[in-house]
Structure 1
């Protein structure tokens, strides 16, 4: 099965913002890909100006199956100013 993964940033009005992320990806036919779980912290850093940069905690994942050949996964990320990134990031 092939997976299509897309990221969205949670907006200020309680709804995800409809814009693509440069970090969106699809897997090969073997279905391998690193997919963050709910509760994981991620940073999306684009390599250009046309895509937004954002970071935060994964708050939801929606799996949409297209028959037996494909699955679209929508991952919503929420930035919480109260989160202490110093506790998350350890070098």
Structure 2
């Protein structure tokens, strides 16, 4: 319990309250992030070209680069301020 005559005791009590409030805010944010349905996982660039073209081994929309691997397409993460362009094939099978 805080001692009203001791200013350090009031500050410690207030600090504890601030820490508890921040912990509650972080917990609520994580809970909302876990419960709210999000977008689909990062996959190949959408659209029939070039992701649908099996001869295209690597493509990009200017924000992320995707490669066709034996396990399936794998894409890099886009930059935070990137505006995607029309996807185009960067590397085709057979040169």
> Do the structures match in fold with TM over 0.5?
no
Give the structure with the higher percent helix.
2
> TM-score per shorter chain, which class?
under 0.3
Q: Which has the larger radius of gyration?
A: 2
Larger RCO: 1 or 2 (CA < 8 Å, sep 6+): 1
Q: TM-score, normalised on structure 1?
A: 0.23
